[in-house]
Chains A and B, each alone.
Chain A
Amino acid sequence: MKFIMNYIRKEEWSPYVAGVLLGLVGIAAVWASDSLLGASGAFENLAGLIGKAVAPAAFDNMYFNFIMPPGITYGVILLVGVFFGGMIGAATSGTLLWGKKGSANSDEQWKRIFGPQVWKRWALAFIGAIILEYAAGIAGGCTSGLAISGGMLLAPAAFLFIMGMFASGIVTALIIYRKNY
């Protein structure tokens, strides 16, 4: 028991242990609620909800009417859980930086490559997030919704997606890091 408590307090688990935990959660999600774990779909549901309220004409199309209907879906609630789960994880290891100085740009490696400015961090995160969400829309899911959840059902789509993801991820990292790759 003491061993388990100590392990929970550790900041970084073995990826294998954390992976087993996620695998079990994935099984439980299918068993108990007949749903897959995913993240990107929830943003589209929320975007649809806001879009329908602000500009109903622009959002009155196939995509938001049928493929990704707006609303507070299972995925949205799941995302709220992910947020708090991540916080709990950081809190148990004492690394929760909420409201602390320098928490807006805290990654040493990021600072080494791009510089210490907070606005840069936020701007890049914003642009990158647009790319991510757009790509997830095309592919039909993100790392969690398609690659992991699809992969555990042995969906071919998941493995095609992982292939593409790594191919361009490696190239992008090469371009960003150049000599430091």
Chain B
Amino acid sequence: MTNYILALVFGAFFGFSLNKAGLTKYNKIVNVFRFTDLAVLKFMMTALVVAMSGLYALRGLGLITFPNVPATYIVGNIVGGLIFGVGMALTGY
């Protein structure tokens, strides 16, 4: 139950940050592929850097263990990514 409440809170913050970064807008998403507005990349990479340094630091201190890391299967990941990009540029998701 507490896990569900946490999920709701994390989700709300997640949605909030997406909205404030403008990633809920079609033009933001598609313009990153046109190289006219790189907000998506700035947002994603900042989140990545902050989270990976925090997570690896916490794991180094022995405070957390990693949940199951997404599996690598090269063809699946790349083909999935290739199809995903089409949908992303089309809808602005």
**Option from B24, B34, B48, B93 in Cβ contact (under 8 Å) with A132:** B93
Whether A23 lies near B48 (C-beta < 8 A) is: yes
Determine whether the beta carbon of B89 is less than 8 Å from that of A15.
no
Asked if residues B76 and A15 are in contact (CB atoms below 8 Å), the reply is: no
Asked whether any CB of chain B lies closer than 8 Å to the CB of A18, the reply is yes
A85 touches B77 (CB 8 A): no
Shortest distance between the CB of A78 and any CB in chain B (Å):
4
Residues of B within 8 A of A169 (CB): 32-33, 85-86, 88-89
User: Contact mask A14-30 → B, CB, 8 Å, 1/0?
Assistant: 01111111111111111
Q: Which residues of B contact A165 (CB under 8 A)?
A: 81-82, 84-85, 88
Q: How large is the interface on A (under 10, 10 to 19, 20 to 34, 35 or more residues)?
A: 35 or more
Distance of A170 Cα from B31 Cα, bound (Å): 10
Check A103 for interface membership: any CB of B closer than 8 A: no
Distance between Cα atoms of A127 and B66 in the complex (Å):
35
For chain B, the bracket of interface size reads: 35 or more
Bound: A11/B65 CA distance, A? 36
- List B contacts of A57 (CB < 8 A): none
The residue from A27, A78, A142 contacting B51, defined by CB atoms under 8 A apart:
A27
* A12 lies within 8 A of chain B by Cβ: yes
Taking CB atoms, residues of chain A closer than 8 Å to B47 are: 19-20, 22-23, 26, 148, 152
Given contacts A19-B44, A36-B67, contact A25 B14 (CB under 8 A): yes
Interface residue from A16, A78, A152 paired with B42 (Cβ < 8 Å): A16
Q: A19-B42, A132-B91, A165-B84 are in contact. Are A140 and B77 (CB under 8 A)?
A: yes
Other A-B pairs beyond A19-B47, A109-B27, 20, CB < 8 Å:
A18-B18, A22-B46, A23-B48, A24-B51, A27-B51, A35-B3, A77-B4, A80-B8, A80-B11, A81-B9, A83-B11, A83-B15, A85-B12, A132-B91, A153-B66, A153-B70, A155-B70, A161-B78, A164-B78, A172-B86
Chain A residues proximal to chain B, CB less than 8 Å:
10, 12-13, 15-37, 74-75, 77-90, 93, 107-110, 124-125, 127-132, 134-158, 160-173, 176-177, 181
Task: Give the top 3 A-B pairs by smallest Cβ distance, nearest first.
Answer: A81-B11, A164-B81, A139-B80
